[in-house]
Amino acid sequence: MRRGQRFALIGLALAALAMLAAASASAWRHPTPAQRRAIARVAKRSPHAGPEKVHVSHIRVSTVGPWASATVTIFFSHQPDSATAVLHRVRGSWRLTKHSPGTAFEWCGIGMPRADQRNLGFGRCPGA
């Protein structure tokens, strides 16, 4: 193999490795049916005003640690109001975090490792 071909092959391998690393940074997964039921049950109990209907969707489970996120939509007079719920699995049970549901930086200040934040598609926390 000639020197130029060897450098091209090494460059191609490095580019492929970089794409794999970028893809794994946000490699959340869909929940299993049992996880979906458990997360939806907990998220539906999130604090909200009145007996309004609560819809849980877009559930993501981190492939790095025991964290998940979901979109919680509450309907007030048939008008949807959506927020992000962040859940943590502790001793086998999913629990809402102290800032959930929220609409801005709800993953900050709850002890979620940066790897899990990236994995679930959350941005950097202010001041971090």
pLDDT tens profile 24-48: 456 899 999 999 999 999 988 877 6
What's 108's domain CATH number?
Answer: 3.10.450
12 within domain boundaries: no
Q: Which of 56, 62, 107 is nearest to 86 (CA)?
A: 107
Specify the pLDDT at position 17: 53
1 within domain boundaries: no
Find the domain containing 35 and state its range: 28-119
Give the global pTM: 0.71
Specify the pLDDT at position 111: 82
16 within domain boundaries: no
88 within domain boundaries: yes
71 within domain boundaries: yes
Query: Across the chain, which distance is largest between two alpha carbons, in Å?
Result: 73
Specify the pLDDT at position 66: 94
Instruction: Report the domain count for the chain.
Output: 1
pLDDT along the chain (128 residues), means of 10: 59 52 66 96 78 88 94 86 90 84 73 88 78
Cα 2 from Cα 7, distance rounded (Å): 9
Q: Which of 124, 73, 66, 115 is nearest to 94 (CA)?
A: 66
